[in-house]
Chains A and B, each alone.
Chain A
Amino acid sequence: MTARLVALVIGMALLPAAVPVGAHHGFSSEYDEKKPVTLTGVVSKLEWTNPHARFYIDVKDASGKVTNWNFELASLNSLRRNGWTQFTLKVGDVVTASGYAALSGVPMANASSVRLPDGTRLFAETSAPSVQQTPQP
Chain B
Amino acid sequence: MTPAQAHVTRLKVHVTTFAVSVVAAAVLVTAQQGQAPGGAGAELSTTVNLGGGSGWRGVVPAGAVPRLPDGTVDLSGVWQGGGPGGSNGNLERGLAPGETIPILPAAKAKMASRGVLDNTEALCLPAGVPRVPSSYPWRMVQTPTHRKATHIFILFEANIHSFRQIFMDGRKHPTDLDPSWYGHSIGWFEGDTLVIDSIGFNDRSTLDGNYPQTTQKHIIERWTRKDLGHMVNEITIDDPGAYSRPFKVTFPATLRVGDEIMEYICNENNQIGIAGGYIKAQ
Q: Which residues of A contact B (CB under 8 A)?
A: 3-4, 6-12, 14-31, 33, 47, 49-52, 54, 70, 72-83, 100, 102-106, 108, 110-112, 123, 128, 130-131, 134
- Inter-subunit contact A73/B11 (CB<8 Å): no
Residues of B with C-beta under 8 A to A110: 48-50, 275
The reply on B159 being an interface residue by CB < 8 A is yes
Identity of the chain B residue whose Cβ is nearest the Cβ of A53 in the assembled complex: B269
Residues of B with C-beta under 8 A to A15: 48, 50-51
Given contacts A7-B18, A29-B276, contact A21 B135 (CB under 8 A): yes
Residues of B with C-beta under 8 A to A27: 46-49, 52
- Inter-subunit contact B269/A78 (CB<8 Å): no
- Inter-subunit contact A26/B46 (CB<8 Å): yes
CA distance A52 to B275 in the complex (A): 13
CA distance A47 to B269 in the complex (A): 8
27 contacts between A and B (CB under 8 A): A3-B8, A3-B11, A7-B55, A8-B51, A19-B51, A20-B43, A21-B134, A23-B86, A24-B272, A25-B116, A26-B47, A30-B276, A50-B269, A51-B124, A51-B264, A51-B266, A54-B271, A74-B52, A77-B136, A78-B50, A79-B51, A82-B51, A104-B275, A104-B276, A110-B50, A128-B8, A131-B8
Given contacts A77-B264, A106-B274, A108-B274, contact A26 B51 (CB under 8 A): no
- Inter-subunit contact A130/B43 (CB<8 Å): no
- Inter-subunit contact B49/A21 (CB<8 Å): yes
The reply on B29 being an interface residue by CB < 8 A is yes
8 Å CB contact of A24 from B7, B14, B122: B122
The reply on B221 being an interface residue by CB < 8 A is no
CA distance A4 to B277 in the complex (A): 35
- A28, A73, A79, A123 pick with most chain B CB within 10 angstroms: A28
> In the complex, how many angstroms separate the beta carbon of A12 from the nearest chain B beta carbon?
7
- Inter-subunit contact A52/B271 (CB<8 Å): yes
Given contacts A10-B18, A78-B50, contact A52 B134 (CB under 8 A): no
Provide the B10-36 mask, 1 if CB < 8 A to any CB of A, else 0.
011011001101100110110010000
The reply on B68 being an interface residue by CB < 8 A is no
CA distance A93 to B124 in the complex (A): 31
Q: Which residues of B contact A (CB under 8 A)?
A: 7-8, 11-12, 14-15, 18-19, 21-22, 25-26, 28-29, 32, 40, 43-44, 46-57, 85-88, 116, 119, 121-122, 124, 133-136, 157-159, 259, 262, 264-266, 268-277, 281
- Inter-subunit contact A19/B22 (CB<8 Å): yes
Identity of the chain A residue whose Cβ is nearest the Cβ of B93 in the assembled complex: A20
- Inter-subunit contact A102/B22 (CB<8 Å): no
- Inter-subunit contact B50/A12 (CB<8 Å): yes
- Inter-subunit contact B266/A24 (CB<8 Å): yes
- Inter-subunit contact B276/A74 (CB<8 Å): no
Given contacts A10-B19, A12-B50, contact A20 B121 (CB under 8 A): no
Residues of A with C-beta under 8 A to B133: 22
> In the complex, how many angstroms separate the beta carbon of A23 from the nearest chain B beta carbon?
3
CA distance A70 to B262 in the complex (A): 25
Identity of the chain A residue whose Cβ is nearest the Cβ of B90 in the assembled complex: A20
| Known contacts A22-B134, A78-B53, A131-B12, then 12 further A-B pairs from the complex at CB < 8 Å, ordered by chain A residue | A16-B48, A20-B40, A25-B121, A26-B46, A26-B88, A26-B116, A49-B269, A51-B124, A75-B55, A77-B55, A77-B157, A82-B51
Residues of B with C-beta under 8 A to A73: 50
- Inter-subunit contact A18/B25 (CB<8 Å): yes
Given contacts A22-B85, A24-B159, A51-B269, contact A6 B11 (CB under 8 A): yes
Residues of B with C-beta under 8 A to A76: 264
